[in-house]
Chains A and B, each alone.
Chain A
Amino acid sequence: MARPNRLPLPNALLLAGITLVVLPHVPHLPLWLSIATLSVIAWRLLHDAGRVPLPNRFMRILLVLLAIAVLLVTYRTLVGREAGTALLVLMLVLKLFEMRSWRDVTVVVFLGFFVMVTAFLFSQSLLMGAYTLVVVALLIASLISFQQPTRPLAREPLLGDLRHAVRLVLQALPVALILFLLFPRIPGPLWGLPEDAAASRTGLSDEMEPGRISRLVDSNEVAFRVQFEGNRPAPAQRYWRGPILWQYDGRKWQTEPHRVRLPQQFDLDFNGPALDYQVTLEPHNRQWLFALEMPATLPEQAQLNSEYQLLSRRRVSEVFRYEVRSYTDYRLDPDILLERERYLALPPGTSPRTRELVKALAAETTSSSQLVQRVLDYFSEQPFYYTREPPLLFDDPVDEFVFETRRGFCEHYASAFTVMMRQAGIPARVVTGYYGGEMNPLADYMIVRQSDAHAWSEVWLQGRGWVRVDPTGVIPPSRIEMSADLAQREPAVRSRLDAERPWWLRSLRRAGYAWDAVNNRWQQWVVGYNQSRQNALLRALGMEDINWGKLVFLLMVILSLALLIIAALVFRSGAKTHKHVNRIYHRFLRKLARRGINKSPAETPGAFGERAVQQQPTKSERIGQITQTYLLLRYADLDTQTQRRYLKWFARAVRQFRPD
């Protein structure tokens, strides 16, 4: 089928769709590419308006080569998430320069869908999902509008195409939903994921260098959400164990590649009530998982390293859900400490002034646990301050912090404390993770945010094992600079702050909780929907031991049913409407017949209407309107909406019609 080889219109719909496709990529595209992309779209728009010519073939090839060269310089590669996306965006917009036929339009639209998918590698938020629907509707509408190539460009048909596209999308949504829920989920990956597959996010890292970064970036982003079954931990117990750092080089704390140990190799006792909960972890592209101290069970797909830290077998590159049981009352390795030297090692000559101080403090005490308490007292007695904006530290961070600046946050305290313990001969290590978490009052789950990230220490004491010590916690509230997150995590401080807030800020907070609750649903049901969720859903529907074949069968049956319903909607007979119109008209005729005004079969509705008006002069207006509407409904070329409106009016008018 031949089509005109020139586009007849400046296609506003298509270009709008392509712009929306590119927009989510702008934040992570290099600036030059974003500008180039939007300029090409603008260029095409100007061309369609008849203002500028398109570049010729030579220019186009030159542009492609130039762009690829610059891409290579920027990324040093053309594969991977960032570079691959940039390349796709580039191909998409450059294709706009040579869009002349219907086939080119389809290439542009399909490429547009591709670029849309790559945006999901960066964000799978609820907003992104809604945005996707808008983009799909626009691109589908432009496909529809290109089906009518000879039509002049006018606002009305374009809106019509958009309406048509929205109708298609709405009819397709239930089918898509069924496919989403029942299509067999194949656990990926099918091939190797590039290094940068998942979004890099703010979060914990495997090293800590106190004094290096003076300003901690506060991020309100959610780290993970927790659903408790039964008991919840007391606020003071909300220590979420993460990476353990034990290697100190005089400036920074690090961890070695994880050594895995089996659970039975730990000497671990639990007391008190158990806490059962399910963690939904946002992807952080690392292996570590978080659990309340101390986890007692090992989630599926997880292992433990020698520091009793939970690790996923793969990088957490998508939402990861796992169930754990923890006991807040525990004893870890109380009798024997393996690799004792590891937790005592310090580079020679580390922090000499602190070493003197520790020696002096140790002289006042008789046992390790007394010394721990003495050092903590030192922090609380001396003018140490908690601040999120500490001064920079240069030569020996611990000495400088303990004797000079005395201002810092958890990293500084944990680092200094751990060094001091090691100087006193007590095995110690730094534990990072999250401290706190707030319950969403509108839905029963706990939100732990990136701003809850925390660092504390663990010391090993004979007979008690690894004991958690949080030196930051001993700083009295008066020396905590307000608005600090740590202060807000204390329930007393928080409730006081809440009371001080104006009503609108409180309702804003409530709205924030509601939004997070919706987001949580989205994460649980959409982003985190996987094979196990699918199985759980089917079990909830009463289908045990699902296999692939059964699933496909079920999918086919439900899909066919849905399509039958949609087909019935689409193929809805017009004749039925006519029958309906006729039925109503006959009701009108019967009402008149009761007054002896009978329509003879040979009489046209118009002629009958005139005769009826003569016999019912007081109702002449109504009779005329009803007859007119009947004729319109039967014979006029009405669009669907008008038809529906007329039909409604017609039915009501006949129902209310009372002949004299």
Chain B
Amino acid sequence: MSLARRAPRPSFLQRFNLARFFKGDAPSAAPWVLDRRNVYILPTRQGLFFAVTLVIILLGAINYNNSLGYFLTFLLGSIAIVGILHTYRNLLRLEVRLANIEPAFAGGEVTVPVALHNPGTERREQIALAFADQEPNRCAIPACGQCVVSLRRPAGERGWQPVGRFSLASTFPLGLFRAWSHVVPDSHYLVYPEPASEARLPQTSRYMASLVGDQGIGSDDFAGLRGYRSGDSLKHVHWKALAREQGLLTKQFGGDRSERLWLDWRMLEGRETEARLSQLCRWVIEAGQQGLEFGLWLPDQIIEPGRGHAHQQQCLQALALFGG
């Protein structure tokens, strides 16, 4: 268990910088450990209301010289004070890390999975995590346990985006005090362009089919069987046929028969850069969904045709970072 702390101890002035109170520290690397320096606590509206109640009870006790009245006031006040410690403890020493953030599309939402680790032997109740102005997500973390909370926020603009500040807060157990801490990670996530609404793929007249056609030398689709020749890969031997005593047969594969699609920047002549990227983004998604083999042509980058998730991600990333 690495209890890595941020190495340089902040100076006195840095510690009493009021901006930290509202915004948190400058972005820093994981893990973030909540400690006395970055957990704040203030009464909630209910807490203030409670204080007023106590003052009224105390005045009554003084007026009537009522000892049990005094005692109840002090007991309730002490419970609130001890409650501060409990609320504070709920956040103290929590370790926060970010899991991998999946890229998002502009105009959509990004999901930030926050992993919380509780090193203590007491359960942490009712931790509310939230980006500024977002609805909080609540979770409880068992003793010595973990919990992952997926925070969502608007993805923002195309390109690399900082994760931004989120806060952890707790009013448990009494709701009279709210302890909170800001976490400002130095991580970024990738935002792809917003996909255009036009989903129709470009005309196939521009696509480049293989001139040679299927020659049975591809490797993707099963194309049939032929007699075994020496030098064929053992992997391609049709063992089941051998078992049925049909002789040694080799499985043949082809793949070049399928269509190849070029998604080309130049096809979208006359549109804005962002609109072009947006359209290309939509096409990449469509082509990926249809399982087509496609390449991407951009003024600064050409991605050779390919297929599969990784290829699609590569294309989308190229679009996201275009011109950047």
Interface, chain A (partner B; CB < 8 A): 1-2, 102-103, 106, 110, 113-114, 116-117, 120-121, 124, 128-129, 132-133, 136, 140, 143-144, 146-148, 150, 164, 168-169, 171-173, 175-177, 179-180, 183, 185-191, 193, 197, 317-318, 526-530, 563, 566-567, 570-575, 577-578, 634-640, 643
CB <8 Å contact, B68 and A1: no
Given A188-B64, A193-B64, A578-B144, output 13 extra A-B contacts at Cβ < 8 Å.
A113-B72, A116-B72, A117-B60, A136-B79, A144-B173, A150-B138, A175-B82, A189-B65, A527-B68, A570-B86, A574-B93, A574-B143, A643-B121
Point out the residues of chain B lying under 8 angstroms from A575, CB to CB: 1, 3, 119-120
Instruction: Name the contact of B53 in the complex, choosing from A114, A173, A635 (C-beta under 8 A).
Output: A114
A-contacting residues, B50-71, CB 8 Å? 50, 53, 56-57, 59-71
* Bound Cα distance from A146 to B125, whole angstroms: 12
How close is B77's CB to chain A, nearest CB, in angstroms? 7
Do A136 and B171 form a contact, CB below 8 Å, given A121-B64, A318-B65?
no
How close is B171's CB to chain A, nearest CB, in angstroms? 7
| B85 proximal to A (CB < 8 A) | yes
Point out the residues of chain A lying under 8 angstroms from B135, CB to CB: 2
CB <8 Å contact, A136 and B64: no
By beta carbon, the residue of chain A nearest B175 is A147
| B76 proximal to A (CB < 8 A) | yes
Instruction: Name the contact of A566 in the complex, choosing from B65, B69, B85, B175 (C-beta under 8 A).
Output: B85
Point out the residues of chain A lying under 8 angstroms from B3, CB to CB: 575
CB <8 Å contact, A637 and B75: no
Instruction: Name the contact of A140 in the complex, choosing from B67, B79, B119, B145 (C-beta under 8 A).
Output: B79
Point out the residues of chain A lying under 8 angstroms from B57, CB to CB: 113-114, 117
Point out the residues of chain A lying under 8 angstroms from B83, CB to CB: 168
Can you sample 11 A-B contacts with CB below 8 Å?
A: A2-B135, A106-B49, A110-B50, A113-B57, A117-B61, A148-B126, A172-B81, A176-B78, A190-B63, A567-B85, A639-B143
How close is A206's CB to chain B, nearest CB, in angstroms? 24
- Per the CB 8 Å criterion, the residue count for chain B at the interface is 58
CB <8 Å contact, A168 and B173: yes
CB <8 Å contact, A574 and B72: no
* Bound Cα distance from A570 to B76, whole angstroms: 18
* Bound Cα distance from A572 to B89, whole angstroms: 9
CB <8 Å contact, A110 and B81: no
| B254 proximal to A (CB < 8 A) | no
* Bound Cα distance from A148 to B124, whole angstroms: 12
| B207 proximal to A (CB < 8 A) | no
| B142 proximal to A (CB < 8 A) | yes
* Bound Cα distance from A245 to B121, whole angstroms: 72
How close is B61's CB to chain A, nearest CB, in angstroms? 7
How close is B106's CB to chain A, nearest CB, in angstroms? 28
* Bound Cα distance from A113 to B76, whole angstroms: 9
Interface, chain B (partner A; CB < 8 A): 1, 3, 46, 49-50, 53, 56-57, 59-72, 74-79, 81-83, 85-86, 89, 92-93, 118-123, 125-126, 128, 135-136, 138, 142-145, 169, 171-175
How close is A431's CB to chain B, nearest CB, in angstroms? 30
By beta carbon, the residue of chain A nearest B58 is A183
How close is B70's CB to chain A, nearest CB, in angstroms? 6
* Bound Cα distance from A136 to B77, whole angstroms: 12
Q: Which 5 A-B pairs have the closest CB atoms?
A: A574-B120, A172-B78, A175-B78, A179-B74, A574-B121
CB <8 Å contact, B120 and A573: yes
Instruction: Name the contact of B136 in the complex, choosing from A1, A193, A318, A527 (C-beta under 8 A).
Output: A1
Point out the residues of chain B lying under 8 angstroms from A179, CB to CB: 74, 77-78
Q: Which of B71, B77, B123 has the most CB of A within 10 A?
A: B71
CB <8 Å contact, B174 and A102: no
CB <8 Å contact, B85 and A124: no
* Bound Cα distance from A169 to B81, whole angstroms: 11
CB <8 Å contact, A176 and B143: no
Point out the residues of chain B lying under 8 angstroms from A573, CB to CB: 93, 120
* Bound Cα distance from A169 to B50, whole angstroms: 16
Instruction: Name the contact of B66 in the complex, choosing from A121, A143, A566, A636 (C-beta under 8 A).
Output: A121
Instruction: Name the contact of A102 in the complex, choosing from B126, B128, B173, B175 (C-beta under 8 A).
Output: B175
CB <8 Å contact, B82 and A570: yes
By beta carbon, the residue of chain A nearest B145 is A637
* Bound Cα distance from A121 to B64, whole angstroms: 8
CB <8 Å contact, B72 and A136: yes
How close is A49's CB to chain B, nearest CB, in angstroms? 25
By beta carbon, the residue of chain A nearest B123 is A639
CB <8 Å contact, A147 and B85: no
By beta carbon, the residue of chain B nearest A568 is B85
CB <8 Å contact, A188 and B78: no
CB <8 Å contact, B75 and A172: yes
By beta carbon, the residue of chain A nearest B80 is A172
CB <8 Å contact, B173 and A183: no
